[in-house]
A and B are shown apart, each in its own frame.
Chain A
Amino acid sequence: EAGVAQSPRYKIIEKRQSVAFWCNPISGHATLYWYQQILGQGPKLLIQFQNNGVVDDSQLPKDRFSAERLKGVDSTLKIQPAKLEDSAVYLCASGLGGTTEAFFGQGTRLTVV
């Protein structure tokens, strides 16, 4: 079974530029999460989707971050404009929902210079 796919694996941008990350969850998984993991810390939830609806985006900095999950499958996370403190690994995870396990992708490492 294919896992959660994310791209790109690495991205370096200058501050104030824009960047987008893509996630393809495991087939059939209704729940999709985006996490931000700063070096040395645990992942922090940015947004949680159930199919194509947003369940929780309370910690998403909406002035610069946006995410969508068109058709309830793939998802994109965008940052515009980026700040130095956005440097982190952005993890996408998917699950069947409820209390089942969340499966993680390998993440996108973003460096803002």
Chain B
Amino acid sequence: KNQVEQSPQSLIILEGKNCTLQCNYTVSPFSNLRWYKQDTGRGPVSLTIMTFSENTKSNGRYTATLDADTKQSSLHITASQLSDSASYICVVTYLTGGGNKLTFGTGTQLKVEL
């Protein structure tokens, strides 16, 4: 069964600190993995996208890693800001005869405090 699991479920950190979110997947055949940021009351917005051959990709203070062998990904946030408070969702795309399919994790709820 294609699944995406994220940890931790929720996280509270102080402004300026770093944090790392984890994503494990069993999706196959793998096409790509995206991290989305979802602010409260808004739709998800893509942060990074990684294909099978990519190990690391950065977008400002966000750095995603991918280990396709162990089927694990992480999202590292550096020097957190209050505006980073949101839900971070790991999404894995796989290919089927009917086209590409997206499998969503349940997300990590991050809260950044003063």
What separation, in Å, do the CA atoms of A106 and B42 have in the docked complex?
5
What separation, in Å, do the CA atoms of A34 and B95 have in the docked complex?
18
Residues of B within 8 A of A (CB-CB), count: 24
Selected contact of B98 from candidates A33, A42, A56, A109, CB within 8 Å: A56
What separation, in Å, do the CA atoms of A29 and B94 have in the docked complex?
19
B60 on the A face (CB < 8 A):
no
How many inter-chain residue pairs (CB < 8 Å) link A and B? 55
A75 on the B face (CB < 8 A):
no
**B-chain residues with CB within 8 Å of residue A56 when the two chains form the complex:** 98-99, 101
B43→A55 contact, CB < 8 A: no
B102 on the A face (CB < 8 A):
yes
A102 on the B face (CB < 8 A):
yes
Selected contact of A43 from candidates B31, B34, B42, B104, CB within 8 Å: B104
What separation, in Å, do the CA atoms of A56 and B95 have in the docked complex?
13
A48 and B104 contact, Cβ closer than 8 Å, known pairs A43-B44, A104-B43 = no
**B-chain residues with CB within 8 Å of residue A31 when the two chains form the complex:** 99
Selected contact of A91 from candidates B43, B46, B95, B99, CB within 8 Å: B43
The smallest beta-carbon distance between A108 and chain B, in angstroms, is 10
Residue of A nearest to B101 (CB): A56
A4 and B105 contact, Cβ closer than 8 Å, known pairs A42-B89, A55-B98 = no
Task: Pull 20 A–B residue pairs with CB atoms less than 8 Å apart, ordered by A.
Answer: A33-B102, A41-B107, A42-B4, A42-B104, A42-B107, A44-B104, A45-B102, A48-B99, A55-B99, A56-B99, A56-B101, A91-B44, A99-B93, A99-B95, A99-B100, A104-B43, A104-B44, A105-B43, A107-B41, A107-B42
Give A residues with C-beta under 8 Å from B: 4, 31, 33, 40-45, 48, 50, 55-56, 91, 93, 97-99, 101-107, 109
